[in-house]
Amino acid sequence: MSRVVRTYQQNFISSTASDSWFFTFAPVPRKAKNSNRFKISVSYLSAHISQTTGANVFVPQAFFARGLQNSISNTGAGDVVTTQVTGDTLLGIVGNAFDVNTITGSTTKYANSIVGTPYYFYLAEMPTNSFLIYYTPITTYTYGDVNDLQFLLSFLIEEVDDEP
């Protein structure tokens, strides 16, 4: 039975609107025991798009991470034959909405936050290398051709002791 020894939170926020960003986890204190592991999950994800044109901002956006150690993930594409497209980790999906400004008559589209059942992955040590976070519309699995947005992503990091 696993026992949580310590809990940390690591937050990443985009400083500029884009469709991909590199981040590095901040150092955490030394583990209580060398045999302990880190259990990682996404606890919160929220994004924001502010545009007055472009129908594709209404399409929900999927956030992925590339380069997370020990995260085993598979994203497939195709309706008949499923083929692996990427091994990147799905962090969450944000839905979209809109707000009509009745004074100016303009419409601002923005993404709301949503997180489903968390995906957990375990690390012997916290990674010191940078990893990529990107988003795509759920209609495609490639990034670089979508509207720029800003986001906040929060990881829950638990140091766990698996020894009885």
Cα–Cα dist 15/53, whole Å: 23
Residue range 49-64: average pLDDT? 64
pLDDT digits (tens, 9 = 90+) for 27-43: 988 899 999 999 999 98
Contact 110, 96 (CB under 8 A): yes
Residue scoring higher pLDDT (38 or 100): 38
Cα–Cα dist 62/126, whole Å: 24
Residue range 57-82: average pLDDT? 68
At 60, list the tokens. Answer: 């929900």
Quick check: 156 pLDDT over 80? yes
Ranges of each domain in the chain: 3-161
pLDDT digits (tens, 9 = 90+) for 108-121: 555 566 656 677 88
3: amino acid identity, one letter: R
At 85, list the tokens. Answer: 């497209």
Residue range 140-150: average pLDDT? 66
CATH number for 3-161: choose from 1.10.3470, 1.10.287, 2.60.40, 2.60.120. 2.60.120
Quick check: 19 pLDDT over 90? no
Residue 5 CA: distances (Å) to CA of 34, 47, 48: 12, 31, 35
Quick check: 57 pLDDT over 90? no
Residue scoring higher pLDDT (79 or 19): 19
Percent of the chain predicted with pLDDT > 90: 23
- The residues near 161 (Cβ < 8 Å, ≥ 6 apart) are 2, 3, 5, 32, 33, 35, 36
Q: Which of 78, 67, 48 is nearest to 131 (CA)?
A: 67
Work out the pLDDT band at 74, boundaries 50, 70, 90. low
Beta bridge partners of 64: 90, 134
Work out the pLDDT band at 8, boundaries 50, 70, 90. very high
